[in-house]
């Protein structure tokens, strides 16, 4: 007897991978084109706070942007035509990645978002932003585009603890996130969620509690990250002084598997591990990357005889066993 593999969980990976979700959602495989829309962040310019989140050096999170400073349509054109893995695809998603990409007047957002569709092979847009940058004007623009093209909004939750969010100068609450996610889902817009394991003073229990919480919200995807310390962030001095640490690889691996067992199989796994340029990454310095993490997560699920959703059936209870 083994676990019942519930669709759309990949039978070999034992979790719902994002690539297969996009193939079903868009009618074929797609690849992201990250761009810089020229946005800033309300947690940097004084609207909410200054200095940004304590763990954040935005350059560490956006190394894939190849042509910053150019108009959006030109970034898209050059990225698609440049040599590389993009040539294996004929369907693209333009990913507005750097800073808070819904933090502008609705008219400006409309122009920049629609500029992404200047290339005929662009199937949709992905907007990386904060949950407190989801006003009615923003939602109206996103809804307008979503009636014609694919739209996904990636919201940073980061922690299920309001106390932790305050300590890292995040500038919003869990409730703010939940309201933004619900507003997007009410308009039929896909939601991806960013969550960090191992933030200072956070707990594994809080991290795991996000799985049923996000499942009940009906989000489409989740990106799991491990806490990293980057050069140039406000946490650099605390790390160098020994006041904070980062998780071990095995600890994070086990936490990811525990999380997936509690996550609805309908939610796609967009990422299992964060990455940063070597010149900016201070810790943790693991000898394994995202591919190895994905492989090790699968191996651990197989070892346990479980899969994504093993402890979830819509109420957070263990799913039934079946043959297989």
% of the chain at pLDDT higher than 70: 92
Q: By residue range, what is the domain housing residue 248? A: 2-322
Terminal alpha carbon distance of the chain: 6
State how far the Cα of 111 lies from the Cα of 72, in Å rounded to an integer. 10
CA distances 164 to 168, 195, 203, Å, are: 6, 13, 10
Mean pLDDT in residue range 121-135 = 96
pLDDT tens by residue, 95-126? 999 889 999 999 999 999 999 999 999 999 99
- pLDDT confidence of residue 24: 93
Alpha helix locations (H) across the chain? Answer: 18-26, 58-61, 72-81, 106-115, 136-146, 162-167, 174-186, 204-217, 236-240, 249-261, 290-304
Report the CATH number at residue 279. 3.20.20.70
Mean pLDDT in residue range 261-277 = 94
CA of residue 185 relative to chain centroid, distance: 16
pLDDT tens by residue, 190-248? 999 999 999 999 999 999 999 999 999 999 999 999 999 999 899 999 999 999 999 99
Could you tell me the pLDDT band of residue 56, with boundaries at 50, 70 and 90?
Answer: confident
Compute the mean pLDDT over every residue in the chain, rounded to the nearest whole number.
91
Residue 206 half-sphere exposure toward CB, CA atoms < 13 A: 19
Number of domains forming the structure of the chain = 1
Mean pLDDT in residue range 26-31 = 93
pLDDT tens by residue, 271-308? 999 888 888 999 999 999 999 999 999 999 999 999 99
pLDDT tens by residue, 157-203? 999 999 999 999 999 999 999 999 999 999 999 999 999 999 999 99
């Amino acid at each position: 007897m083994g676990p019942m593999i519930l669709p759309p969980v990949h039978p070999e990976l034992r979790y719902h991978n994002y690539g297969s979700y996009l193939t079903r959602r868009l009618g074929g495989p797609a690849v992201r084109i990250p761009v810089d829309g020229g946005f800033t962040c309300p947690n940097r310019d004084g609207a909410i706070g200054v200095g940004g989140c304590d763990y954040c050096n935005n350059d560490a999170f956006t190394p894939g942007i190849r042509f910053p400073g150019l108009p959006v349509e030109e970034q898209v054109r050059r990225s698609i035509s440049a040599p590389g893995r993009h040539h294996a695809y004929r369907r693209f998603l333009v990913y507005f990645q750097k800073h808070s990409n819904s933090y502008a007047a609705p008219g400006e957002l409309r122009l920049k978002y629609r500029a992404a569709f200047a290339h005929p092979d662009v199937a949709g847009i992905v907007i990386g932003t904060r949950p407190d940058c989801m006003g009615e004007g923003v939602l109206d623009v996103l809804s307008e585009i979503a009636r014609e093209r694919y739209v996904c909004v990636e919201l940073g939750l980061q922690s299920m603890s309001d106390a932790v969010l305050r300590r890292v100068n995040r500038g919003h609450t869990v409730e703010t996130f939940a309201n933004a996610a619900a507003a997007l889902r009410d308009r039929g817009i896909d939601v991806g969620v960013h969550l960090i394991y191992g933030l200072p003073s956070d707990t594994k229990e809080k991290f795991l509690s996000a799985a049923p919480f996000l499942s009940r919200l009906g989000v489409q995807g989740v990106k799991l990250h491990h806490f990293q310390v980057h050069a140039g962030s406000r946490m650099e001095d605390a790390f160098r002084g020994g006041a904070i640490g980062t998780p071990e690889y095995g600890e994070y691996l086990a936490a990811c598997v525990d999380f997936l067992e509690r996550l609805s199989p309908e939610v796609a796994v967009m990422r299992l591990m964060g990455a940063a340029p070597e010149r900016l990454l201070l810790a943790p310095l693991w000898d394994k990357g995202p591919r190895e993490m994905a492989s090790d997560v699968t191996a651990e699920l197989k070892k346990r005889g479980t899969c994504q959703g093993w402890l979830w059936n819509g109420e957070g209870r263990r799913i039934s066993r079946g043959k297989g």
